[in-house]
Chains A and B, each alone.
Chain A
Amino acid sequence: MTETTQFMEKDVFQLTQMIWQSTFGQSLEKPDNILADIEGSEGWVQIAGAWDGVIRIKVSDDQLIFVTKTMFLLEDDPASKNDLQEAMGELTNLIGGNIKALLPAPSQLSLPAVDLGGKNIDLSDYDPILDLPLESRDGMVQVSIFKRIK
């Protein structure tokens, strides 16, 4: 792992923890065991400008339900597919927007795209530069950064 990636890992970890605590009232920690890509849903935003790449967020199914119910104050109501997609988009935009602030400026953030039960978007034009699996009591979150191959 490069020095840049270490720097990003520390900062991305801190800001994701901050977002989780302030938005969802839970702490996020690094899991004891390193896992492969988590099963669940994914959202991604693209950054274009002085830095070009993709921020991808994956969450486990349980985590997405928790995030959606908390975000939309659903309490005992079930989360609809539309609610889950909206929440996944909001979460991706929130984390992606904060990560963008750590990257060289000026750059632009795309709209988020989401895929429930996603099977991994094709990112063959990008180098993975950070993969940060995290967990809370409600499930897994994975923050990954991919840099465009010049």
Chain B
Amino acid sequence: MQFIEPEIIKYVENIWSSTLSLEARQTETSYTPHEGEENLTGCVHIMGAWNGTVSLQCPKDMAVQAASIMFGLKCEDTEMEEIQDALGELANMTGGNLKALLPEPCSLSLPTVAITDYNFRIPKTELITQVNFDCGGQVFSVSVHKKVDNSDD
């Protein structure tokens, strides 16, 4: 069992259900974006007694679907700003819930969202948890990176 894996599963299922009215279920299928594909990563940093990052990686199509539901638009009418806002909000909700499980005091950053060709990375950290989810046949993942202890800042 990975660090706070059951809580991640519970929170993601709840957030997807309550915010998007979609069913997200843990899957053994790994989210493996391919080089050159357009993918989005939304992340929030946690700073304080515990330092690390909670990130949500998904294919662009899934982020478009989330944005269309959140903003009440057709998928083809969603703009990139809305897509990024939607993913940022999902990352913020996920990270905000997980922050409550971590040592206090901690602060949560605003979410940042990057459109990436799978070249996104959080240096100076180790991946401590990665959980994959299936939502209507689309796979996405939630990752927790913890700052490495030998970092000097």
- Residues on A facing B (Cβ under 8 Å): 41, 44, 46, 48-49, 52, 54, 81, 85-86, 88-90, 93, 97, 108-126, 148
Contact = CB atoms under 8 A, between A and B. Distances in A.
Contacts of B112: 44, 46, 54, 113, 121-123
Contact of A124 (B52, B84, B147, B153): B84
Interface of B: 41, 43, 45, 47-48, 51-53, 81, 84-85, 88, 107, 109-110, 112-117, 119-125, 145, 147, 153
Nearest to B88: A122
A46 B124 contact: no
B47 A108 contact: yes
B113 A111 contact: no
B135 to A, nearest CB: 21
A48 to B, nearest CB: 5
B109 A85 contact: no
Contacts of A108: 47-48, 107
Contact of A118 (B53, B110, B114): B114
Contacts of A117: 117, 119
30 contacts: A46-B109, A46-B110, A48-B107, A52-B110, A81-B119, A85-B119, A85-B123, A89-B121, A108-B107, A110-B45, A111-B52, A111-B147, A112-B122, A113-B43, A113-B53, A113-B112, A115-B114, A115-B120, A115-B121, A118-B114, A118-B115, A118-B116, A119-B114, A119-B115, A119-B116, A121-B112, A121-B113, A122-B81, A122-B88, A125-B110
A81 B117 CA distance: 13
Contacts of A41: 119
Contact of A115 (B48, B81, B119, B153): B119
A86 B123 contact: yes
A111 B122 contact: yes
- Among B48, B109, B116, B125, max chain A CB count under 10 A is at B109
Given A112-B122, A116-B117, A122-B113, 13 more contacts: A46-B45, A81-B119, A85-B123, A89-B124, A93-B123, A108-B47, A110-B109, A111-B53, A113-B45, A113-B121, A115-B121, A123-B112, A124-B84
Contacts of A52: 110
Contacts of B109: 46, 48, 110
Contacts of B107: 48-49, 108
A97 B152 CA distance: 12
A93 B120 CA distance: 16
Contacts of A125: 110
Contacts of A46: 45, 109-110, 112
Among all A-B residue pairs, the 10 with the closest Cβ atoms? A89-B123, A110-B45, A122-B84, A116-B119, A108-B47, A46-B109, A122-B113, A85-B121, A119-B115, A121-B114
